[in-house]
Amino acid sequence: MTFTGKIGVITQARATSTRLPAKVLLTADGRTYLEHHVERLVATGLPVIVATTTNVDDDPIVILTEKLGLPVFRGSEQDVLSRFAGAATQYGLEGVVRVTSDCPLIDPEVVAAGVDRWRAEDDEDLYLSNCLERTYPRGMDYEVFSTKRLLEADAKATLQADREHVTSYLHQNRPGDIRLQNLSWSGGGAEYRLTLDTSDDRLLLTALFEEYAASTLNCAELVGVLTEHPELAALNAHIEQKKLGD
């Protein structure tokens, strides 16, 4: 059996990010980081939904997303779990791929391979990801799970961290019957940051986009560039990722 329900990608985006405000609306190589991000997601062949907030600060995200011809869902800023549940329900998804908009170089083939595996498993209780164990560079992260389990999490999760971080109720297996599966790879680069969270991250990403044609490169090729040019990787190597609950 193979899961045949509608699967879509939901990416969360907001302008009020604390370490680098309005980061997804900043530009590299003449385009916003949000444009780079959703272009890669559209290449998966799946529907792509941008889930932002009802804050007026996020009106520019809505305007840009609609200009790109993509659907938008607006919900709570802090209760991101409810935002995802609302987006999945409004757009009739039966399976969800969760990504975050601070990943402008996410590899569509990596995401698509994860979705193919999740479909093949045909298990609504399966949470599948490539970041339960860090083997990919940060910025390639995705999670796949059923809308059924997402809505259950939305109904039952009470911890603030679970409401804010969307999937911790699932990947911490709070219900007790979630099956967890990690898809790892052996291509190296787990120490690299290809995500946009700080001004130093932006320095690296700008260099990759404008000097190394990053928009044409897949994950393995990006790792190759950083391995060959350690001075690039050093630009943001000191950045510490926020922990769950920060």
Q: Quickly list H helices, the chain.
A: 33-42, 59-67, 80-90, 108-121, 147-156, 160-165, 168-171, 199-211, 219-228, 230-233
Q: In terms of C-beta density within 10 A (0-12 exposed, 13-18 middle, 19 or more buried), how is residue 77 classed?
A: middle
Q: How many CB atoms lie within 10 A of CB 228?
A: 10
pLDDT of residue 246 exceeding 50, the answer is no
Mean pLDDT, range 85-102, rounded to an integer:
98
Domain segments of the chain as ranges:
7-191
- Round to whole Å and give the CA distance between 67 and 127: 33
Residue whose token pair is 């999490």: 153
The share of the chain scoring above pLDDT 70, in percent, equals 98
Q: How many CB atoms lie within 10 A of CB 157?
A: 21
- Round to whole Å and give the CA distance between 65 and 74: 12
CA distances for 115 relative to 89, 108, 236, angstroms: 19, 11, 30
pLDDT of residue 86: 98
CATH class for domain 7-191? alpha beta
- Round to whole Å and give the CA distance between 94 and 231: 44
Residue whose token pair is 């990947």: 171
- Round to whole Å and give the CA distance between 103 and 193: 10
Mean pLDDT, range 88-98, rounded to an integer:
98
Kindly indicate the confidence band of residue 243, based on its pLDDT and cuts at 50, 70 and 90: low
pLDDT of residue 174: 97
The share of the chain scoring above pLDDT 90, in percent, equals 96
Kindly indicate the confidence band of residue 240, based on its pLDDT and cuts at 50, 70 and 90: confident
Contact yes or no for 63/22 (Cβ under 8 A) = no
pLDDT (tens digit, 9 = 90+) per residue, 26-82? Answer: 999 999 999 999 999 999 999 999 999 999 999 999 999 999 999 999 999 999 999
pLDDT (tens digit, 9 = 90+) per residue, 174-218? Answer: 999 999 999 999 999 999 999 999 999 999 999 999 999 999 999
What predicted TM-score, i.e. pTM, was given to this entire model?
Answer: 0.96
Token pair belonging to 119? 């479909």
Mean pLDDT, range 111-135, rounded to an integer:
98
Q: How many CB atoms lie within 10 A of CB 103?
A: 24
pLDDT of residue 244 exceeding 90, the answer is no
Residue 174: name the closest of 81, 62, 60, 74 by CA. Answer: 81
Q: How many CB atoms lie within 10 A of CB 66?
A: 12
